[in-house]
Structure formats: structure tokens, C-alpha cells
Structure 1
Amino acid sequence: MPPEIAELLQTNSADALPALMEAIAQYLNSDRCFVYLRDPQTRLGRVPFCWTRNSEIPTVYDEDWKPEPESLADEDPMFAAALATKPSIFVEDVTTASPEVLNAQFERENFGHRALIHGHLCQDHQLWGVLQPCLMHEPRYWTDEERSTFSEMIEKITPLVVQYVEQYRKNPSEE
């Protein structure tokens, strides 16, 4: 694992999440890296951290906790896989990926990327978030080393994500 990522993970603090977005993107030479966080009990989610290579790359960010659309798992096979706590998905080219893996139109309309990793942050058979580094304009082959390192990172980031959600979650009854 790259030393700068290992160092951030050693803090065992959710405060490391913003810096981790940049460090992961730099390691994978990505254009953007964001994390979607969700409370598995309330199904409220938000995107509090996003790093982009430059200002021309669209930011994915939403500071407000919002209900997940009821149809999301039906529209997005990758999100359905994440909810089922299946392994992370490495997409080399959105334009040629199987429809069983992803909905190309959904990806185009909502994210605009060309290659991505859909990193499933799961604990106790529940989805707590999705970490998503991506490239915007070209396909990308993910090496075995990158896949292995990313999987290791996901394992170590998940407790930080759970910590963050538990600390900042919104209770729907408070509205």
C-alpha cells in the first residue's frame, strides 16, 4: 500500500477521509475520487468528500443527507451489487461493459466517467458506502496490483466510514 495512504489510515479517524480521496486518486492516477456514505438503517446517504484533478472535472458532492431513490438498485446494477455486499467492481470501459455489470446510460447521465472502480464499503453484511475513483475520458485497465491494493484499502477505510456515518448520521424523526 502506498505510504501516504497507509499513514492516513493509521490515524483511525474519519477526519482522514477528505485527504484519502486525493491520495487514492493520485495512486490510481484518477481524474476524480468521491465517497458516497449511507446509513444502512435509514437508507439516507450523502457525498461529503470529492477530489477532482482540475476544475474541468465535474464534482460529485452533496452535503445533505437524502433518502436513496427507491428505484436506485433497479436502475444501477453496481449499486444493487453493493447492497448485496458483493465485491467491488472494476470497470475498464463504461461504453463496452456488460449491462449486467452497469447501466451505461445511467452512468453517463449521473457521473459522466469512462472507467471507474465501484468500491463497496461493507461491514456486518451491510452497505455503508461506495468509494469511487474514476477516469473521465478514456478506458483504463486496472492491474492485479491495483485491484489487490484497492481491496486492502477498502477493508481499512470501511471502519472510518462507519465511524463517520455513526457520528454524523441524520435521524429522520428529527425533521
Structure 2
Amino acid sequence: MLDQTLPAVLVNILENDREPEEVFSALMPALGEVLQSDRCFLYLRDPHTRVGKVSYCWCRSPEFPEIFDADWKPEPESLAKEDPLFAAALRTEPSIFVEDVETASPAVVNKAFEHKTFGHRALIHAHLCFEGQLWGILQPCVFNQPRVWNDFDRFVISQVTEKITPLAVAYMKSAKI
């Protein structure tokens, strides 16, 4: 990952002094295009109340299901047991790059849960963590085929999550839940 830089489209979104809502709205389609994803969404949550929602979602085509929550809702008590990716996020582990839901280890991915809830084939489960707590999950994904996430993809996610985590925290601290 030597001499990598973020594409200008992402720098323009992330480096300007904008409100979190404006950044998140602009980021989903730009990141989806940069990573050549089919869908990109952002789940934001309050780690103290365990209430969250997907407020920002972009899909490359109407054939891909949009994920969006109109209202804030409590996370199911069983979620961390049912979804190993979410459990890893709660433990503030590094972001997880799943190349193929169909062949991933059950310790990493609950294939049945992913099929039922999201329908994607490959994904990045990018964790927005601050001070030992999970504030959000950024999730670019692809449908219909596996995807090898290369060094550039990993670099982009690393840089983007670093820059949007403070925005996610600020957004959630000011959210009227």
C-alpha cells in the first residue's frame, strides 16, 4: 500500500468542512463507485442505548435491494449471537472484508443470516469505533458474485472510516432519538 492516495472525489467529500448529513449523503454513491460496489450503506447507532438505523444507502441499480430504516429502533438482543460480523464490530475489531459469503468461515459469517437480511455475496463490514465503542458500520457490498477486496479497497476503507468516525459520533450525539 505504498504511495496510495484517496481518489479526488472522496477527498472533496471528506476534506470539506460539512455537516455529517451532507458528508454521508455524498459519500455513499461516491464510495460505491470508487469501490465498484453494488450497494453502500451506513448504519449509525448509539452505543449506550443500542438504538440505531440505516439512514444512508446507495444502490447502483434498482435491481439491488435498498436498505433503509425510517425510524430509530433498538437492536435485537440476539443480534450479536446471530451475526458474527456484528459481534466483531461490537468488540471493536478491525473491519472485515468478506470475499464470498458462500465460502466464508461460519465463525466470521452466518450465511443464512446474510442471505435473509442483506442478500449480498461479498461485503466490507467497516467498523466506526471510538473510545472502545461501536458508533456505526459502513457496508459496501456486491451481489451475484464473489469479490476479492484488494489493497486499494482496504486502503480506501481505512482512510474513509478514520475520517467519518468522528462525524458519526457527532451525528449520534446530536441525534434526537
**TM-score, normalisation: structure 1:** 0.95
Please, which of 16, 19, 22 is the counterpart of residue 11 of structure 1? 16
CA distance in 1, matches of 2:124, 2:8: 21
Three-state SS of the structure 2 residue aligned to 1:163 is helix
After superposition, the C-alpha distances for 1:110-140 in whole angstroms (9 at most, x for unaligned) are: 0000000000000111000000000011100
Moved over 6 A (4+): none
Q: For the residues of structure 2 that align with 1:65 and 1:131, how far apart are their CA atoms?
A: 17
Which has the higher mean CA deviation after the structures are superposed, 88-97 or 161-170? Answer: 161-170
Percent of residue pairs identical:
56
Q: Does the residue aligned with 1:62 lie in a helix, a strand or coil?
A: coil
Q: 1:89 aligns with which of 83, 96, 121?
A: 96
The question of 1:124 aligning with 2:131 is answered: yes
Equivalent of residue 160 in structure 1, options 136, 147, 167: 167
- Show structure 1 runs of 5+ residues with no match: 171-175
- Partners of 1:165 and 1:74 in 2: CA distance: 25
Tell me the equivalent position of 2:3.
Answer: none
Determine the structure 2 residue equivalent to 1:173.
none
1:1-175 correspondence to structure 2 within 5 Å: 1-12=6-17, 13-14=19-20, 15-170=22-177
Contact 1:37/1:47 (CA < 8 Å) preserved in 2?
Answer: yes
Inter-partner Cα distance in structure 1 for 2:15 and 2:156: 16
Q: How far apart are 1:36 and its partner, in Å? A: 0.5
Counterpart-to-counterpart distance in 2, 1:126 and 1:58: 29
Distance across 2 between alignment mates of 1:76 and 1:150: 21
CA contact (8 A) 1:34 1:51 kept: yes
Q: CA deviation at 1:160?
A: 1.2
**Are the counterparts in 2 of residues 52 and 59 from structure 1 also a CA contact under 8 Å?**
yes
Moved more, 96-105 or 143-152: 143-152
Task: Give distance in 2, aligned partners of 1:7 and 1:119.
Answer: 21
> In structure 2, how many angstroms separate the alpha carbons of the residues matched to 1:63 and 1:84?
27
Instruction: Count the aligned residue pairs.
Output: 170
Q: Which runs of 5+ in 2 are unaligned?
A: 1-5
CA contact (8 A) 1:39 1:169 kept: no
- Give the secondary-structure state (helix, strand or coil) at the position aligned to 1:41: coil
- Counterparts of 1:43 and 1:11, CA distance in 2: 30
Amino acid across the alignment from 2:133: Q
